[in-house]
Amino acid sequence: MKLSDKELEIIEILEKDARTPIDVLAKMIELPVEETEALVKKLEEANVIVQYTALVDWRKADGHEGVTAMIDVKVTPKRGVGFDEVAERIYRFPEVKSVYLMSGAYDLSVVIEGRSMADVAQFVSEKLSTLDSVISTTTHFILKKYKHDGIIFDQGDQDRRIVVAP
Amino acid sequence: MKPQTRRTYVSETVAGLKPSGIRRFFDLASSLDGVVSLGVGEPDFVTSWSIREASILSLEQGYTSYTANAGLFELRQEIAAYLRRKFHVEYRPEAEILVTVGASQAIDLALRAIVNPGDEVIVVEPGFVAYEPLVVLAGGTPVAVHASGADGFQLAPARIEQAITERTKAVIICSPNNPTGTVLRPSELDALARLAERHDFLVIADEIYAELTYEGEYISMAAVSGMRERTILISGFSKGFAMTGWRLGFAAAPEDILQAMLKIHQYAMMCAPTMAQYGALEALRNGEHEVEHMRNSYRRRRNYFVAALNEIGLPCHLPGGAFYAFPSIRHTGLTSEQFAERLLLEEKVAVVPGNVFGASGEGYIRCSYASSLEQLQEAIKRMKRFLARL
């Protein structure tokens, strides 16, 4: 889908802050509110804007326990469907947050979120490793998130400028 | 016998300088909490990491000694390439480019290098607060020429012509302008160029905001026909590359003038800080993408902020560059000082009164939109409330 300059501006602005009010967005791209609204709707319907999500630092939510693991998976691709079939079988599991087909030492990179390491271990040994096409798995637990989706956690980016300057 | 009190040793020239009006507002705004500041004349971006990292690397590698007086030759070569690439002007890095401690120092050097006692320097107002004092410190006489808000603060070549005398040595222009954001039109630049030729004067072109021009290609004064030999081009890294605290600028000028500037620089400053120069090298080599990102961000905020100002009843022309909006507050019946002071005390929004930038700035306020969108929205909300009460 070929996007216009205004549409590209919209997705750049909303990708950075999905909560930008429509009237502010309209002023930023120099279009009337109605027209801006229509463009946003069009982008949503075309699945260019897939979803509006919040980036959460769960460590700050007391009582919330959880672990994230990245699993390198080697698989045997199947004739006719390649890696797509096994990828789909994996991404359908609700524990699976993302699945990427990779080049290099392994085929699929799978990100899993569970309540505990035992939870993840159970998922890997019982659900993932037992799939027919899966040859091997290597599990890496994420110890700390410093940066996610381009956002630095705890960057302490307060404005250090003096209040009035030349 | 010792005298009981010593006489004042401060020179008459310095004693006669007015303190910057910005300073007064800084003191006032700093004494309050919860201020939304539109008073900041610098980017709200931190210098990009690759530039900071290059500077750190230079320290790790022990590049901590003086550079050549004129600056690292490598950096001067990059500046020459940058000026050629961006503005289509040619300068020889070995003789026509000087790396300075901020663009401010470059302006100071330019004036000190050309002004004889009593020479007149035309300063276009509203303009950057330092121009007139620097002319005075160089021994010259500043002559203010007012740009008109009705014309979006464009240069008024006819008024400049009226101000020209036999003692006119130079005209200082700034495009995009601080505080109006105005980008000078090619026709105005051209008209000034013809005046410069006819009356034989120089143009000191402060182009520090050139990277922050939103529409069309930027035209440097030095690129205007016949003007390379009559222009002292001043720029730097503060605004476009978000490097204000690095204090790194540069000047490009014909050899005789540049060498005169270098002569002063080598005695007064020796050279610009070495680690900052290595950061600047990285900025010119690999910083283009970041600059574009920042420019786009400012442009969108300008669009929002200027539209919102007009909506709440503060008429404002659409500035073509920099990150300042300069709305009129004349219809409120307040002076720009009164408006800014009351807005600060009553609604805690800091703006800079327009008269700080010269008499023609009276009736206006300078609002910097180099702030987060949330802060700009909050400022608009408070200003609307303030205006409703007047």
* Dihedral-angle region of residue A82 (phi above 0 means left; psi in -120 to 50 means alpha; beta otherwise): left
Interface of chain B against chain A, CB under 8 Å? 20, 22, 25-26, 29-30, 35, 37, 39-42, 44, 46, 128-130, 178, 296, 300-301, 303-304, 307-308, 350, 352, 371, 373, 377
Give the count of Cβ contacts less than 8 A between chain A and B: 62
Please name the helix (run of DSSP H) or strand (run of DSSP E) that holds residue B105, with its range, or none: helix B102-114
Give B39's contacts in chain A (Cβ within 8 Å): 163-165
CA angle B288–B294–B298, rounded 5-degree value: 140
Q: How close does chain B come to A22, measured CA to CA in Å? A: 11
Nearest CA in chain A to B376: A24
DSSP bridge pairs for B204: B172, B232
Nearest to B146 by CA among B167, B174, B168, B123: B123
pLDDT number for residue A150:
86
What mean pLDDT is predicted for residues B280-304? Answer: 97
Q: Which of B39, B178, B300 sits opposite A28 (nearest CB)?
A: B300
pLDDT number for residue B262:
98
Give B30's contacts in chain A (Cβ within 8 Å): 162-164
* Sheet of A96-101, strands arranged across: A96-101, A108-114, A67-75, A134-141
Is residue B284 within 8 Å of residue B78, measured between CB atoms? Answer: yes
Q: Say how many Å lie between the first and final Cα of chain A, rounded.
A: 45
Q: Which of B22, B304, B371 sits opposite A166 (nearest CB)?
A: B22
Task: Say yes or no for a CB contact (<8 Å) between B30 and A163.
Answer: yes
Task: Say yes or no for a CB contact (<8 Å) between A164 and B129.
Answer: no
Q: How close does chain B come to A143, measured CA to CA in Å? A: 25
pTM reported for the whole predicted model: 0.93
pLDDT number for residue A58:
85
pLDDT-derived band of residue B303, with 50, 70 and 90 as boundaries? very high
pLDDT-derived band of residue B325, with 50, 70 and 90 as boundaries? very high
Q: Which of A20, A30, A166 sits opposite B373 (nearest CB)?
A: A20
pLDDT number for residue B320:
98
Q: Which of A21, A159, A166 sits opposite B41 (nearest CB)?
A: A166
Give A27's contacts in chain B (Cβ within 8 Å): 303-304, 307-308
Task: Say yes or no for a CB contact (<8 Å) between A28 and B39.
Answer: no
What's the whole-number average pLDDT of chain B? Answer: 96
Q: How close does chain A come to B69, measured CA to CA in Å? A: 27
Tens of pLDDT, residue by residue over B130-168, are: 999 999 999 999 999 999 999 999 999 999 999 999 999
Task: Say yes or no for a CB contact (<8 Å) between A163 and B301.
Answer: no
Nearest to B204 by CA among B279, B124, B268: B124
Give A162's contacts in chain B (Cβ within 8 Å): 26, 30, 40
pLDDT-derived band of residue A20, with 50, 70 and 90 as boundaries? very high
pLDDT number for residue B154:
95
Quote the longest CA-to-CA distance of chain B.
Answer: 71
* Beta carbons within 8 Å of A81's beta carbon, 6+ residues apart: none
Is residue A66 within 8 Å of residue A100, measured between CB atoms? Answer: no
Q: Please state the separation of Cα B227 from the chain's center in Å.
A: 21
Give A13's contacts in chain B (Cβ within 8 Å): 300
Interface-testing mutation among B37, B244, B247, B352, with chain A (most A C-beta atoms within 10 A): B37
Quick one: three-class SS letters along B271-311? CCCHHHHHHHHHHHHHCHHHHHHHHHHHHHHHHHHHHHHHH
Task: Say yes or no for a CB contact (<8 Å) between B39 and A9.
Answer: no
Give B46's contacts in chain A (Cβ within 8 Å): 157
pLDDT-derived band of residue B2, with 50, 70 and 90 as boundaries? low
Tens of pLDDT, residue by residue over B24-41, are: 888 889 899 999 999 999
What mean pLDDT is predicted for residues A101-105? Answer: 97
Lowest mean pLDDT among A124-133, B26-35, B41-50: B26-35
In this prediction, what percent of chain A has a pLDDT beyond 70? 99
Nearest CA in chain A to B43: A161
Task: Say yes or no for a CB contact (<8 Å) between A166 and B130.
Answer: yes
pLDDT number for residue B1:
65
**Distance between CA atoms of residues A114 and A66, nearest Å:** 6
How far is the CA of B27 from the CAs of A125, A153, B23, B178, in angstroms? 65, 34, 6, 21
In this prediction, what percent of chain B has a pLDDT beyond 90? 94
Task: Say yes or no for a CB contact (<8 Å) between B41 and A162.
Answer: no
Task: Say yes or no for a CB contact (<8 Å) between B296 and A17.
Answer: no
Tens of pLDDT, residue by residue over B181-209, are: 999 999 999 999 999 999 999 999 999 99
Task: Say yes or no for a CB contact (<8 Å) between B300 and A29.
Answer: yes
**Distance between CA atoms of residues B144 and B194, nearest Å:** 20
DSSP bridge pairs for A9: none
Q: How close does chain B come to A165, measured CA to CA in Å? A: 5
Give B296's contacts in chain A (Cβ within 8 Å): 12
Q: What residue spans of A17-161 are helical by DSSP H?
A: 22-28, 33-45, 84-91, 117-122
Is residue B342 within 8 Å of residue B357, measured between CB atoms? Answer: no
No. of H helices and E strands in chain A? 5, 6
